[in-house]
Amino acid sequence: MIEPIGNSMIKLPYLLFLGNAPDQLSAKVAQGISDWRPENCIGQFTLDGCQADVGLPDISLQRGRELGAKTLVIGVANRGGVIDPIWKETLVAALRLGYDIANGLHKLLRDDEDLVAVAQQYGCLLHDVRLPNRNYPIANGEGRRGKRVLGVGTDCSIGKMYTALALEKSLRKRGAKATFRATGQTGILITGAGVPLDAVIADFMAGAIEWLTPENDEDHWDVVEGQGSLFHISYSGITLALLHGAQPDALVLCHEPTRQNMRGLTDRTLPSLETLRDAVLPLARISNPSCEVIGVSVDTHRLSEAEADSYLGQIEQNMGLPAVDPVRNGADRLAATLV
Amino acid sequence: MIEPIGNSMIKLPYLLFLGNAPDQLSAKVAQGISDWRPENCIGQFTLDGCQADVGLPDISLQRGRELGAKTLVIGVANRGGVIDPIWKETLVAALRLGYDIANGLHKLLRDDEDLVAVAQQYGCLLHDVRLPNRNYPIANGEGRRGKRVLGVGTDCSIGKMYTALALEKSLRKRGAKATFRATGQTGILITGAGVPLDAVIADFMAGAIEWLTPENDEDHWDVVEGQGSLFHISYSGITLALLHGAQPDALVLCHEPTRQNMRGLTDRTLPSLETLRDAVLPLARISNPSCEVIGVSVDTHRLSEAEADSYLGQIEQNMGLPAVDPVRNGADRLAATLV
């Protein structure tokens, strides 16, 4: 499989830092990495009182280095996205052992003078994956070999990253060439590369996605992580830039059937899947006239299994498309439409 | 008329600096300011050999200050958008006289150490209007009083700024309350305020436009400068963020009938006006369900007068909308639909 030149960002493998996580949910970034890229992980490192466990061996910083870990990933979030003072001793010790550190929190490592000084002294890198780490070109819109599939949602935070990772897994299981392309900070930490699209300068959004999804083997699928929603007016511009930069051949519609309002917009309800399909397809065909909607991915975790089955069956009947919950069902039926 | 708090950026009035402009076209920024905001201009200042004249009194830097000028605007462009070394003496002299300087070129004043030092010494501001000069919020999508009209194009660089300025003029002529809202550097220099949308961080694009077009009198029109095109894949995300941030009540479709390709994209042709209308209206109605397309603005400068009349007549017949070339005809017929 061709990996695009320069698309690697963070050195692998990782040691995952869970800190003093008060519960499992606060370590969900580490959990995501451990779930989707166990081969990238040497182990987990916790502080006293940590209540999270992502199922990896507990090892020390020193032992991690001996086993080849190159980057300590802050895999835990806390209120406000700040760097907990209790973590600082660990981060400094890690730099002294030669680890790079990767961070997806709002608070930036580069804004901590102590960490910057130690990193410089030991020649280590501080990765703040919420910010771009390079300049991107303006999109040229040219076609390129290889196939691309993108998730588009009726709202933000509706399972687009999970869908893409599940689809990559299903494609690979079938022996197809597939690469998840991260466009947000969690995805970047999971894979060690990607574009933090929401932090890119407007003029370069589509160009950043062209860079992220370059020419590839004719039968290779880039599985591109979706962002925002065409119907979420705070972020719709990001979604359209992603759609036009990725030039997808295939789209997966993502939905959560019980959500009452667009995320953060109390007055606005979600569009139907049919409305999303009818809006997105003509826009997608501006950049790729042969683009098709190939399936639907639904987050059914608020439904019973019977309700979920019934809901998915109804979508299949109404829209004539395979509909899955990738958590309950996996994404094999979506992958089957691509291969 | 209510002017939004904090929406002023550059101190008025201006002295326009034409430098050593080799021809009239290279002073088109100064011409635009002089054409659309003569009341903002004290005069023009030229160097030896200047071949441009924007029709304002020629006055010296010193005299300009005596007459009240507060900002020297670089109203001339040269190849590569750099600051000509020949201009430097003038810029330094202006700062010493207490002028702020405003610049829309790619090359930034703030990157010139000499200018920064003199500006600091004399307490003057250096405005690089290609970059945002503040942080913008994330869009909240809430409705707000007042009316908004936005130009949307079949391509980039297709007369959207000119259309908006002509429409503001026609509205004011009728006694209506109207404010041009600049979203690009030339518009910002013309009015002294605005958002350089193409340089805003992705997450804040729509929020920047909400900030630019705030609540206003019920019968006030913000005439918002369009950017990019939904059909231009390099910039379409910017266009959609603008559409959803502005929540326009009215749209004007902008077109140039002889253009063969999307600007900078040799393989891609322009959509028809009907295709643009059908694409933009459902997207606009996500943020403002009562949005309507109210007219068409065509750049007919490559057509004869007879051809232009015939073309505009045909559009009116086909689309049932007033169609004007604002350069040939003004925008009164568009304004009439709004009042």
Indicate the residue of A207, A238, A265 with minimum beta-carbon distance to B141: A265
Asked whether the beta carbons of A104 and A185 are under 8 A apart, the reply is yes
Residue A203: pLDDT over 50: yes
Q: Residue A266 — very low, low, confident or very high, per pLDDT cuts 50/70/90?
A: confident
> Tens of pLDDT along B141-181?
999 999 999 999 999 999 999 999 999 999 999 999 999 99
Contact at CB, B230 and A283, closer than 8 angstroms: yes
Length of chain B, in residues = 339
Residue A308 confidence (pLDDT)? 98
User: Between A and B, how many CB-CB pairs are < 8 A?
Assistant: 124
Chain B closest CA to A235's CA: distance in Å?
A: 6
**Residue type for B315, please?**
I
DSSP output for A273-296: HHHHHHHHHHHHHHH-TT-EEEEE
Q: Which residue of A has its CA nearest to B207?
A: A234
Residue B6 confidence (pLDDT)? 40
Residue B8 confidence (pLDDT)? 58
**Residue type for A268, please?**
R
**Long-range contact set of residues B112-115: C-beta below 8 Å, sequence gap at least 24:** B112/B83, B112/B88, B114/B88, B115/B88, B115/B91
Residue B108 confidence (pLDDT)? 94
Q: What is the ipTM of this complex?
A: 0.94
- How many angstroms separate the CA atoms of B321 and B164, rounded? 17
Looking at the DSSP bridge assignments, the partners of residue B221 are B147, B178
Chain A residues lying within 8 Å of B264, measured CB to CB: 140
Q: Verify cis geometry, omega within 30 degrees of 0, for the bond prior to A13.
A: yes
Tokens of A148: 């691309």
Give the mean pLDDT of chain A. Answer: 95
Residue B82 confidence (pLDDT)? 86
Coil, strand or helix at B152: strand
Tokens of A113: 């003078």
- In sign, the C-alpha dihedral spanning A165, A170, A172, A178 is negative
Name the nearest CA neighbour of A152 among A163, A139, A143: A163
Residue A78 confidence (pLDDT)? 81
Radius of gyration of chain A, Cα coordinates, nearest whole angstrom: 20
Per-residue pLDDT tens listing for chain B (339 residues): 334 434 458 999 999 999 999 999 999 999 999 999 999 999 999 999 999 999 999 999 999 999 999 999 999 988 788 888 999 999 999 999 999 999 999 899 999 999 999 999 999 999 999 999 899 999 999 999 999 999 999 999 999 999 999 999 999 999 999 999 999 999 999 999 999 999 999 999 999 999 999 999 999 999 999 999 999 999 999 999 999 999 999 999 999 999 999 999 888 999 999 999 999 999 999 999 999 999 999 999 999 999 999 999 999 999 999 999 999 999 999 999 999
| DSSP-H helix ranges across chain B | 28-36, 61-66, 85-96, 113-122, 160-173, 185-191, 205-212, 236-246, 273-287, 305-319, 326-329, 332-338
Chain A residues lying within 8 Å of B202, measured CB to CB: 197-202, 205, 237-238, 241
Asked whether the beta carbons of A228 and A241 are under 8 A apart, the reply is no
Residue A100: pLDDT over 80: yes
Per DSSP (E only), the strands in B193-266 are 220-224, 250-255
Residue B76 confidence (pLDDT)? 94
Our measurement of the distance from residue A279's CA atom to the centroid of its chain's CA atoms, rounded to an integer in Å, reads 24
Residue A7: pLDDT over 70: no
Residue carrying the six token digits 């950043």: A208
Residue carrying the six token digits 């979030």: A77
Chain B residues lying within 8 Å of A142, measured CB to CB: 267
Indicate the residue of A141, A230, A262 with minimum beta-carbon distance to B233: A141
- How many angstroms separate the CA atoms of B61 and A177, rounded? 66
- In sign, the C-alpha dihedral spanning B305, B311, B315, B318 is positive
Tokens of B89: 């003496």
pTM greater than 0.90: yes
Q: Annotate A66-80 with b (16+ C-beta within 10 A) or e (fewer).
A: eeebbbbbbbbbbee
DSSP output for A34-87: HHH-GGGEEEEEE-TT-----SS-B--HHHHHHTT--EEEE----GGG---HHH
Our measurement of the distance from residue B83's CA atom to the centroid of its chain's CA atoms, rounded to an integer in Å, reads 21
- How many angstroms separate the CA atoms of B263 and B48, rounded? 35
Contact at CB, A142 and B242, closer than 8 angstroms: no
Q: Which residue of A has its CA nearest to B246?
A: A233
Residue B135 confidence (pLDDT)? 93
Q: Which phi and psi (to 5°) does residue A292 adopt?
A: -135, 150
Coil, strand or helix at B107: coil
Coil, strand or helix at A271: coil
Q: Residue A257 — very low, low, confident or very high, per pLDDT cuts 50/70/90?
A: very high
Chain A residues lying within 8 Å of B242, measured CB to CB: 237
Residue A2: pLDDT over 80: no
Name the nearest CA neighbour of A37 among A186, A231, A203, A171: A186
Contacts of A109 (CB under 8 A, 6+ apart): A83, A91, A101, A103, A115, A116, A126, A127, A128
Q: Verify cis geometry, omega within 30 degrees of 0, for the bond prior to B13.
A: yes
Residue A8 confidence (pLDDT)? 58
Residue B156 confidence (pLDDT)? 95
Instruction: Using an 8 Å CB-CB cutoff, list residues of chain A that contact chain B.
Output: 138-142, 197-203, 205-207, 230-231, 233-242, 244-245, 262, 264-265, 267-268, 279, 282-283, 286-287
Residue B336 DSSP class: H
> Tens of pLDDT along A214-225?
999 999 999 999
- In sign, the C-alpha dihedral spanning B190, B59, B327, B333 is positive
> Tens of pLDDT along B75-84?
998 878 888 8
